Chain A
């Protein structure tokens, strides 16, 4: 045992790091082993040489560089260190708020699906929706081609079989206002029939990804807005003149969409819901924002503004007037412009009878407007040629019977003084037409369809009658219509009216204009004439 070399312990022996027992063993071995003694000497020398390495002074400027470096590193570790504490606190709080806003916004938008094709509403859903919104259009099996005073000015649409349903859509089912244009309605109809390939690909094909980003949602909403023909998102208003909203109307685009993580299918359903909401909210808003306003500078004279017997209340005046009303011919009436929900089932109801058939439509002679509106063209086309002759026969009857004339009227006119008038660029039926109302029932029904005053204005139909005129709905132009004058001439009643497009408006709004004038009663046959 003692004969074993102790070279492995020699280094620790030099450093006095051996236990007492080990040290004694090393000492005992080295007394006999020259090799280990030589090794010990070599190692001692190596250790001494290493220990003899000289100490070096610090390089010049070492401490200055040390302090500068320390300052730099501390500044880098705390970049806002030189700001006062309140500033740092405020900056931190602001950053936190912004981060939270971004986070929650992201969370909200990431619920949306990657891409939903713009008209991806299923046929069933669309059918159900249309059924609910426009029940009468679904009931109709074919086109309704009625002739009468109301349809007389809208000749271009009469008998157009294929477009009936689409027109219903475009007209909002007879509601006063809608932002859907006929092309979009046709597109939706095709979509409902399953012809999806005809829809414009407003969004790129759905990429394979699990996360939905803001850009995806924006693209989707843009595409939907475009596909629905919506040019402007209108904020909903609290209350409006049309009080026929259903209780389940969406309050926002997000109505009915839960704020929670969704699967792709759930997200698609949510996006369909949002599309529906977008459509309905916009439609509601446009209805509610259809005000009754004066046109062409004519201030409507409401009930309290006029005097005499005409100011009697409706409750008193209407039954009396109905009792005293002349018999009239209900005729056949086009209902395409009527409000769907107020339309009675029976064709012979008071509402239908309101539409007077004693009208005669006369083309304005020798006048060729540069760009006649569709309504005017429609009226011209609908004009029966015979009417002119018939009108001509009685031309002399009332000649010279009167008095003054308006600016537009010939000298032979006997203008009827206006008692009251109401008008608006929106809120009308949306189809060109004119009529003379002579009974309280007609008056009440008209008010129900076109709520031109806050409550039903009184009218004494024993002494008064109402002349009403509508122009076609325009989705892109601010169109107006006004009665220029109502005058007796040559044994007939001439209603001169004027249509115009308000080019002054920067942003054209959809319009469905109307004008109502109450004049002294006359039993002469009436004729509508457009004047420039």
Chain B
């Protein structure tokens, strides 16, 4: 316990990774900042009780993902009867990814060299269900092991393995043109 980082050290090391994780989970900067701050505050409050069973990064990712899952759950409860995807009524092609960016916000990853593919990947991620998105982001972006992901999401390792497999298959279908061209 004596080697616990101070709050400043903890924030310096984890604020940006947490923000980027949140960004890939929720899809837009404003919601990402809100989620990241929420998760970091919870982590700071729980920091004195952190027992060091995993790295602080894995620990704070877990807090972030759980915070996000709770939000998604309560949001689903609130909006279940209020909003349904427009595609249900228009018979839109399921393969067409939904735009999750709020109005008035610039598209994420704008101006980058790989802007087009990055936007496509980001949008493809947004079409995944929450759990699949979380496992892929934690695995491919954050480099977490299957075991760490299983801890973070409180899932069996086998489930994590199959979820990652299915999520990559789904991304492959959505990013077909980029995959085949590359």
Which residues of A are interface residues toward B (Cβ below 8 A)?
8, 10-12, 15, 17, 42-43, 45-47, 49-59, 62-63, 65-66, 69-70, 73
Contact = CB atoms under 8 A, between A and B. Distances in A.
B15 A63 contact: yes
Nearest to B23: A56
Interface in B16-44: 16, 19-20, 23-24, 29, 33, 36-37, 40-41, 44
Given A45-B179, A69-B41, A52 B114 contact: yes
Contacts of B36: 62
B146 A15 contact: yes
A42 B19 contact: no
Interface of B: 11, 15-16, 19-20, 23-24, 29, 33, 36-37, 40-41, 44, 108-109, 112, 114, 117-118, 121-122, 125, 136-137, 139-141, 143, 145-146, 161-162, 164-165, 168-169, 171-172, 175, 178-179, 182
B131 to A, nearest CB: 15
Contacts of B125: 50
Contacts of A63: 11, 15
Residue among B15, B114, B140 facing the most chain A CB atoms (10 A cut-off): B140
Nearest to B140: A50
Given A57-B16, A73-B41, 17 more contacts: A11-B165, A11-B168, A12-B146, A15-B139, A17-B161, A43-B172, A45-B179, A50-B136, A53-B118, A53-B122, A53-B141, A54-B114, A59-B29, A59-B33, A65-B37, A66-B40, A70-B41
A14 to B, nearest CB: 8
Nearest to A48: B140
B18 to A, nearest CB: 10
A73 B41 CA distance: 9
B161 A47 contact: no
Nearest to B142: A51
Contacts of B15: 58, 62-63, 66
B172 A46 contact: yes
A50 B141 contact: yes
Contacts of A70: 41, 44
A58 B16 contact: yes
Contacts of B136: 50
Contacts of B171: 46, 49-50
Contact of B37 (A45, A46, A66): A66
B32 to A, nearest CB: 8
A12 B112 contact: no
A-B pairs, 4 with minimum CB distance: A11-B165, A50-B140, A51-B140, A46-B171
Nearest to B139: A15
Contact of A69 (B23, B37, B114): B37
B161 A53 contact: no
Contacts of B40: 66
Contacts of A51: 140-141, 143
Contacts of A57: 16
A521 to B, nearest CB: 103
